[in-house]
């Protein structure tokens, strides 16, 4: 079990991977028992060879997508502290020790490398990325009542208990959204670490698709809100059905009936009744799912205790070996 594991997902990053590894090695030379892992995701260039020559431990994930890579890393590696950094040399390594100390000494579960409070908006030349980062940050902080300043950053530090209790569901770049919401929903201790951001060096190709990835992130956000707050989610639809039912009944059934004492719009009466039934169904569906989610939260806390006990056992075994 490592003291610090540096996790670097990589896909066709031959231009920058060597520099990132050497920078990380220089910055972590005073942190004992540090291992640098590069997880290659089917690169077609010399990323793997350069990473090996630079001294990193290279492993492979053949299912395409950043989420698949992170799932593999989190399953295979045991460490007291994990730091994940992109292989594109857009993040400075001079804050690695600060992020490490927050997890190691302050028991922080996730440290977020906050680009948006520093140079991101001046360095990043893709305007839709700037807009999308701001939009997603505001939505998540509002709906999930947290204060994470950079939701989509790939520069993060994690505790052992975060890594071993985080269910990786996404396969693409929406994985960072999942991490942020998971930490917020399960009361994980999160801190922001302001980091400078520099755009990719010329000739280095981004793997992001602005519209496709942005749409995926918003869909993920909607699905996670439905999962973690089902009563609030389904209550919106319940209120819409109830409102439509009420309007149709009053203006197309009740008011004409009060004048003629005859129900003249039977189809409208039937539709308003169906909408009223749908309103009750969606509301009680949300209430039932909310009860299930409460049970899941209790089970998560129990699982967290088991993870902590496992880590303590591993720490004792390591001390015995030393």
Q: Is 167 helix (H, G, I), strand (E, B) or coil?
A: coil
Q: Please tell me the class of the 2-228 domain.
A: alpha beta
> For the segment 43-55, what is each residue's pLDDT rounded down to a tens digit?
999 999 999 999 9
Report domain extents, the chain. Answer: 2-228, 230-321
pLDDT tens-digit series, residues 195-253 = 988 776 665 566 556 667 778 888 888 999 999 999 999 999 999 999 999 999 999 88
- pLDDT exceeds 70 at position 302: yes
The full DSSP string for 81-139 is: EEEE--TTS-S-STTHHHHHHHHHHH--SEEEEE-TTTTHHHH---HHHHHHHHHHHHH
Closest CA to 113 of 80, 65, 158, 146: 158
Which residues neighbour 208 within 8 Å (Cβ) at sequence distance 6 or greater? 129, 173
How deeply is 111 buried, as exposed, middle or buried, from its count of CB atoms within 10 A (0-12, 13-18, 19+)?
buried
Residue with tokens 């509301």: 283
Burial class (CB in 10 A: 0-12, 13-18, 19+), 86: buried
- Report how far residue 212's alpha carbon sits from residue 129's, in angstroms, rounded to the nearest whole number: 12
Rounded (10°) angle between helices 266-321 and 230-249: 170
Q: Each residue of 304-313: pLDDT tens digit?
A: 999 988 888 8
Tokens 């409102």 belong to residue: 243
Measured from the Cβ of residue 117, the count of other Cβ atoms closer than 10 Å reads 13
Q: Residue 208: which of 245, 182, 176 has the closest Cα?
A: 176
Distance CA 85, CA 8 (A): 5
Q: What is the pTM of this model?
A: 0.84
């Amino acid at each position: 079990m490592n003291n610090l594991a540096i996790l670097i997902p990589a896909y066709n990053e031959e231009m920058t991977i060597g520099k990132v590894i050497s920078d990380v090695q220089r910055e972590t030379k005073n942190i004992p028992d540090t291992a640098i892992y590069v997880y290659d995701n089917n690169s077609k260039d010399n990323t793997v060879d350069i990473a090996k020559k630079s001294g990193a431990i290279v492993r492979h994930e053949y299912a395409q997508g950043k989420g698949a890579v992170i799932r593999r890393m989190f399953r295979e590696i045991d460490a007291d502290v994990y730091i994940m950094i992109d292989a594109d040399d857009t993040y400075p390594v001079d804050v690695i020790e600060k992020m490490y100390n927050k997890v190691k000494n302050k028991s922080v579960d996730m440290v977020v490398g906050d680009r948006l409070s520093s140079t991101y908006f001046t360095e990043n030349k893709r305007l839709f990325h700037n807009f999308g980062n701001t939009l997603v940050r505001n939505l998540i902080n509002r709906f999930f009542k947290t204060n994470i300043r950079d939701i989509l950053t790939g520069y993060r530090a994690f505790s052992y208990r975060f890594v071993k209790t985080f269910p990786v569901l996404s396969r693409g770049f929406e994985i960072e959204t999942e991490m942020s919401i998971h930490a917020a929903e399960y009361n994980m201790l999160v801190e922001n670490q302001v980091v400078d951001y520099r755009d990719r060096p010329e000739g280095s190709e981004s793997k992001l698709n602005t519209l496709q990835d942005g749409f995926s992130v918003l869909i993920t956000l909607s699905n996670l809100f439905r999962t973690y707050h089902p009563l609030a989610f389904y209550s919106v639809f319940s209120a819409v059905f109830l409102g439509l039912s009420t309007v149709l009944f009053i203006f197309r059934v009740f008011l004409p009936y009060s004048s003629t004492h005859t129900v003249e719009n039977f189809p409208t009466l039937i539709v308003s009744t169906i909408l009223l039934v749908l309103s009750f169904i969606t509301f009680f569906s949300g209430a039932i799912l909310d009860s299930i989610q409460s049970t899941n939260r209790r089970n998560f806390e129990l699982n967290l205790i088991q993870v902590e006990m496992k880590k303590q056992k591993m720490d004792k075994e390591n001390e015995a070996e030393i």
